[in-house]
Structure 1
């Protein structure tokens, strides 16, 4: 007959197993939801389709997340936290303004490379006027912070030392950067179909990032 300590060890192992299984299920649902929201948008994505991707029941999804809207909001919040951490990891003040700006843009590219669904979800939500997460969207607040505390400081230094034109505005610049970055992730199939390239590398993400960065720096450079 097992000793009491054996009962305790077995119970602990079972509890850990359940926790591990629960965590795996949550991750599976989140991953499936990201793919479904990115490919179909919030309105067209259904709980049924998310559950099919995740191989879970609707009851289980509702148990963990409550509703499709709550799941969507959680993913955008997670995206916001990831973007803040990733883009903020570079000491931009340690570099000349033009180098810092290039790194800022490259970091945004890399962030979306790691999480391509987020670019599509962000655009989809913006097109719906943030109807699903409200005007206090965590992702929108992160973008505001990036403009004010990161990009704004880079632009200010660049204008002060004569690298950038005096009329370069951080808000305008951010949305130009955002447009250049998200174009590749949201429209690459069209770009690949229409554009004449020598090989796939001519229009891959690295090439697009390099071209976009060079274009941006040339556009705001002080020519005087």
Structure 2
């Protein structure tokens, strides 16, 4: 049998690594760092522990790769966002709604964030490039806020980080607290009939806050 060309071998390696990351994301999100087993990840991907160690070096390195990949996903979604800078009110609403959509579609990301906070950020602190990767999130907000202030529609006492904190808090809550909140108030936050209402709500909150008179 003829050996595979180098380019095809590279594609195979990339596919294998991507599959391992996807499955590992689910396992770590389901079981946490301590409860996740490399054996289970190997079994789900029909590969071997040896192959996982070959690609990632070990369980901790695999978890770090999963964390970085999860954060990279939300940052890439933000960078792909195109907004109308001539209409800052609609631009900020669109950013809030796209963030909501991404969090709902990637609930494993929220569980990973919750797990990492349980560990007091022990692992994320090892990802030295992550703060820089997160800069575009506030850079886009800075641009929209500047446009809104120049147009005279946004208040001047709110920072990009403030807005990012409010949007992220709301979106994370939809996933992280869906079971406890749902039980206490007899509501299903995952119900598709609720989705448009909840999505619109964060847009309304952000727009109402930014356009409210100061003081």
Q: Aligned-pair distance for 1:180?
A: 0.6
The normalised TM-score by structure 1 is 0.78
Larger RCO: 1 or 2 (CA < 8 Å, sep 6+): 2
Please say which of residues 49-58 and 165-174 is displaced more in the overlay. 49-58
CA contact (8 A) 2:93 2:203 kept: yes
Q: 2:40 aligns with which of 45, 49, 54?
A: 49
Q: Aligned-pair distance for 1:176?
A: 0.9
Partner of 1:172: 162
Partner of 2:57: 66
* In structure 1, distance between residues paired with 2:198 and 2:8: 45
- Alignment of 1:207 with 2:197, yes or no, is yes
Larger radius of gyration between Structure 1 and Structure 2: 1
* In structure 2, distance between residues paired with 1:211 and 1:155: 20
State how many pairs are aligned: 213
The normalised TM-score by structure 2 is 0.81
Partner of 1:4: none
CA contact (8 A) 2:104 2:174 kept: no
Indicate how the Cα distance of structure 1 residues 213 and 135 shifts in structure 2: closer, same or farther if over 3 A, else same.
Answer: farther
Indicate how the Cα distance of structure 1 residues 220 and 15 shifts in structure 2: closer, same or farther if over 3 A, else same.
Answer: closer
Aligned CA RMSD, in angstroms, stands at: 3.0
* In structure 2, distance between residues paired with 1:140 and 1:184: 24
* In structure 1, distance between residues paired with 2:55 and 2:34: 21
| Structure 1 segment 25-36 matched on structure 2, within 5 A | 25-36=16-27
* In structure 1, distance between residues paired with 2:131 and 2:104: 19
- Alignment of 1:85 with 2:76, yes or no, is yes
* In structure 1, distance between residues paired with 2:136 and 2:145: 14
Partner of 1:184: 174
Gap runs ≥5 in structure 2 = none
SS in 2 for 1:91: coil
Please say which of residues 168-177 and 191-200 is displaced more in the overlay. 191-200
